[in-house]
Structure 1
Amino acid sequence: MDRIVLGYDGSDFSVQALDWALDEAELRNLPLTVVHAWQWPYGDADEEAKAHLRKAAEHVLWHGAECARSTSSGVRVETDLYEGPAAQRLVELSADATLVVVGSRGLSALPRVVVGSVAGYAAAHADCPVIVVRGPGPLPKATRPGPVVLAEREPDAAAVEFAFAEAAMRGLPLAASADLGEWAARRPEVQVEQGEPHERATLVVVGRTRAAHLGTASSLPQHAPCPVAVVPATAPESS
């Protein structure tokens, strides 16, 4: 099932992720699944107490789905309420998703510090690309959006294909230090620039070398100024 999966917890950070996920769903003409996970954190409890917590979780999920429906232009919005760890559910749903989008609390040096969080776990284990959107609140609409940046000196094919697809869908140039001559010849609609101008990037793309380990992201700035896509080598090609 091709779809965009969004991790949503009602925070300002997930509002920004929702904005990006809707954008992806519209560009790709895919449905959006809004996911909210909950679990009782205090050990044994009676069913009435758990029912109250579940009701609150249902409200959070309903709010996220309504926000998505009210701001989208025809995107089909579905919901998924899960009892258990959020990171685990996002990885499960990634098996038949095109993309997972999740917010981050703006921790520095993705992926080094973020590993262990929901965003980091999803990025390290998901079967499809994961876009980590950093910072609270709605995404600012840039009047002159910057390029998609491929932050890999020796990128694998999946990361390159994903970066070209994102650049093509958004009508943006692709900036990279790697030699992309053969790829550029096959994707003439994308303007390729040399260099990695992270400070004005719209999206930074990195590869993931193997399960549970993120790829060569040492070239990322200490504070990523934009969303970061982590692409597993086994990810299906984007169209």
Structure 2
Amino acid sequence: MTDPRTPAPGAVVVGYDGSDFSMQALDWAMDEAELRRAPLTITHAWRWPYGRATEEARLHLRKAAEHVLYHGVDCARSTSTLTDVRADLHEGAAAERLVELSDGAQLVVVGSRGLDALARSVVGSVAGYTATHSHAPVIIVRGPGPIPAPVDPGPLVLGLGASTADAVVDFAFTEAALRQLRLVAVHASYPQPMAWGVAMAPLPDPEAALAAERDRMRERLAPWRERHPGVPVEYRSVTVSAGDALEAAGAEAVLLVVGAGRSWGRGRLGTVARAMTEHAPCPVAVVPDRAGRPPG
């Protein structure tokens, strides 16, 4: 018999604190666990914020934290088909616990903000820290409207660049296949500035350059298209900044998938990933840039 208090390996992990943002995250996490046929671990962290405290005061706070956590667990058990839902009550920092649980998890889901985030914050400190340090992909549930998917869903958008890791592409195709979504791969680049001179080379044809880039994207994604033949794929090459391109594409998306960036593992996200966690108009998946190989 499984212990409902012990995180299951390969679980979908979700942070829950009773806020509206965490309720959206819980909805998304339940959907992910059902689609992946995975266990669901719901975690809630608490700590005494006022320095020293009597044991009775700490016990009262712990009881309140248990009430919050088991409300989330009861919601998951009563509104989903999941049979393995586990509660994880942690005394300490929520973000650190989520990162700890990410080691061995399939996926971590968090709300864009929680009860302890400043009102002026665009993305909460818990979400930002978790995305920066997690060992597993992290979905930050952002944006208005029903979560996780509307009746007429848009596409899944993949930010694709020359340094995008295979793990990021693999996650995007897997998620698109699970949710039966079309995938839009977006590659953005600024045109290189050219200095005027006597021996100046002919200006390149922008349309030809974009067409060549789309061909390179097709070649890069070919192994995953073979593995997921039911996923329709659209290629977009644009000459704007990656942030602007992905923010625009995200306006119609169910989910935006980006790599954590070259700075992942060194205590910070890459520029594009950080911008998307703060400004994307839809939920964002930040995938650690682990080394990987194309399927097949």
Please tell me whether Structure 1 or Structure 2 has the larger radius of gyration of its CA atoms.
Answer: 2
Q: Is the 8 A contact 1:33 1:78 kept in 2?
A: yes
What residue in structure 2 maps to residue 13 of structure 1? Answer: 21
Q: How does 1:47-86 map to 2 (within 5 A)?
A: 47-86=55-94
Residue 217 of structure 1 pairs with residue 269 of structure 2: no
Cα–Cα, structure 1 residues 199 and 75, in superposed 2: closer, same or farther, change >3 Å? farther
The change in CA–CA distance for 1:198 and 1:96 in structure 2 (over 3 A counts) is same
Aligned partner of 1:159 in structure 2 is 168
Q: What secondary structure sits across from 1:131 in the alignment?
A: strand
CA contact (8 A) 1:22 1:75 kept: no
Residue 123 in 1 paired to residue 131 in 2? yes
- Equivalent position of 1:186 in the other structure: 227
1:235–1:21 distance in 2 versus 1, CA, 3 Å: farther
Distance 1:52 1:95 in 2: 31
**Aligned equivalents of 1:75 and 1:14: distance in 2?**
21
Within 1, Cα distance between the matches of 2:160 and 2:126? 24
TM-superposed deviation, 1:185: 3.1
Structure with the higher helix share, 1 or 2:
2
Q: Percent identity?
A: 59
Q: TM-score, normalised by structure 2?
A: 0.72
Q: Is 1:24 matched up with 2:24? A: no
How much has 1:223 moved relative to structure 2?
3.5
Cα-to-partner distance string for 1:38-59 (whole Å, 9 max, x where unaligned) = 0000001111111100000000
SS at match of 2:181: coil
Partner Cα distance (2:270, 2:286) in 1:
8
RMSD between superposed Cα atoms in Å: 2.6
TM-score, normalised relative to structure 1: 0.89
2:206 maps to: none
Task: Determine the C-alpha separation between the residues in 2 that align with 1:205 and 1:152.
Answer: 9
1:201 equivalent to 2:253? Answer yes
Aligned to 2:178: 169
Q: Aligned pair count?
A: 233
**Larger deviation: 135-144 or 9-18?**
135-144
Deviation at 1:226, TM superposition (A): 1.5
- Going from structure 1 to structure 2, the CA distance change for 1:35 and 1:236 (only over 3 Å counts) comes to farther
Distance 1:227 1:156 in 2: 20
Structure 2 counterpart of 1:102: 110
Aligned residue identity for 2:87? T
Which of 226, 229, 232 is the aligned partner of 2:288?
A: 232
* Cα distance between partner residues in 1 of 2:131 and 2:52: 32
**Could you tell me which of 127, 148, 152 is aligned with 2:156?**
148
Q: Partner amino acid for 1:122?
A: T
Which shows bigger deviation, 175-184 or 65-74? 175-184
Deviation at 1:65, TM superposition (A): 0.3
The structure-2 alpha-carbon separation of the partners of 1:166 and 1:3, relative to structure 1 and needing over 3 Å to count, comes to same
Structure 2 residues without counterparts, runs of 5 or longer: 1-8, 188-216, 237-245
Q: How far did residue 199 of structure 1 move?
A: 1.1
Structure 1 spans left out of the alignment, 5+ residues = none
Match of 1:142, SS state, is coil
